[in-house]
């Protein structure tokens, strides 16, 4: 899928199932598509915000660096508006929303109901999500988790069946 970002008109354009779509918002600085969701980064009023929209141009979720989050129904109507203290970042999957904090990930349904909490591997804190279909993260360790070269940022993938993290590699 090709996504065209026109920063002069602050419009994102794309084609999905032979239909052209446009999304207009002030301050769009980045747009991409992953896993059938369009992700936008916006800088407006000295604040970064992030939006997830579906391929039909309907809002799914917005959040900003001030920890505000809005969740939308399938028609693009806001159903939840909430402030989440210490929210680091957000990941969407087909069925769930993952809210990352330093010491936990809250798993929400697409309707905003909390389903579960996932905690980081022992000795680590969450840093960021890794794009993709599976739940993968970068975690920051400490001197006890560092290798002999002092590297302590690791990539982990979550195993939902066994409810545990598997270390995959160094993060960088």
Position 7 scores a pLDDT of 54
Q: What percent of the chain has pLDDT over 70?
A: 94
**138-154 pLDDT, tens digit each:** 999 888 887 888 888 88
For 117, residues 6+ apart whose C-beta sits below 8 A from its C-beta are 104, 105, 106, 107
pLDDT of 146 reads 79
pLDDT the model gives residue 144: 83
pLDDT tens-digit readout, 43-55: 999 999 999 999 9
pLDDT in tens, 9-37: 688 988 888 899 999 999 999 988 888 89
- pLDDT of 6 reads 61
CA-nearest of 41, 38, 29 to 5 is 29
- Annotate the chain with DSSP letters as a single string: --EEEETTTTEEEEEETTEEEEEE-TTEEEEEEETTEEEEEEEETTEEEEEEEETTS-EEEEEETTSEEEEE-TTS-EEEEEE-TT--EEEE-SSEEEEE-SS-EEEEETTS-EEEEE-PPTT-EEEEEESSSS-EEEEE--TTT--TT---EEEEEEETTTTEEEEEEE--
SS (H, E, C) 21-37: EEEECCCEEEEEEECCE
Q: In this structure, how many other beta carbons lie within 10 angstroms of the beta carbon of residue 31?
A: 23
Q: Which two tokens stand for residue 160?
A: 């939902």
Give the mean model confidence (pLDDT) for residues 52-69: 94
- Which residues is 32 bridged to in the sheet? 39
> Which pTM value belongs to this model?
0.86
Nearest CA among 19, 25, 30 for reference residue 56: 19
Judged against a pLDDT cut of 80, whether residue 2 lies above it is answered with no
Q: Answer for the pair 110, 96: CB distance below 8 angstroms, yes or no.
A: yes
Closest C-alpha to 155, from 128, 133, 132:
128
| Mean pLDDT over the full length of the chain | 90
- Is the confidence at residue 41, as pLDDT, over 80? yes
């Amino acid at each position: 899928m090709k996504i065209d970002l026109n920063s002069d008109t602050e419009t994102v354009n794309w084609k999905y199932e032979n239909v052209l779509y446009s999304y207009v918002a002030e301050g769009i600085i980045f747009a991409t598509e992953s896993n059938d969701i369009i992700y936008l980064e916006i800088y407006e009023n000295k604040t970064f915000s992030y939006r997830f929209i579906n391929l039909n141009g309907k809002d799914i979720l917005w959040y900003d660096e001030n920890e505000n989050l809005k969740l939308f129904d399938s028609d693009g109507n806001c159903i939840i508006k909430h402030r989440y203290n210490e929210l680091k970042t957000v990941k969407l999957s087909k069925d769930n929303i993952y809210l990352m904090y330093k010491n936990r990930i809250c798993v929400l349904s697409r309707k905003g109901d909390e389903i579960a909490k996932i905690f980081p591997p022992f000795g680590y804190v969450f840093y960021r999500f890794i794009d993709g279909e599976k739940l993968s993260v970068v975690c920051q360790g400490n001197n006890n988790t560092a290798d002999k070269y002092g590297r302590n940022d690791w990539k982990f993938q979550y195993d939902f069946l066994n409810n545990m993290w598997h270390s995959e590699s160094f993060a960088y």
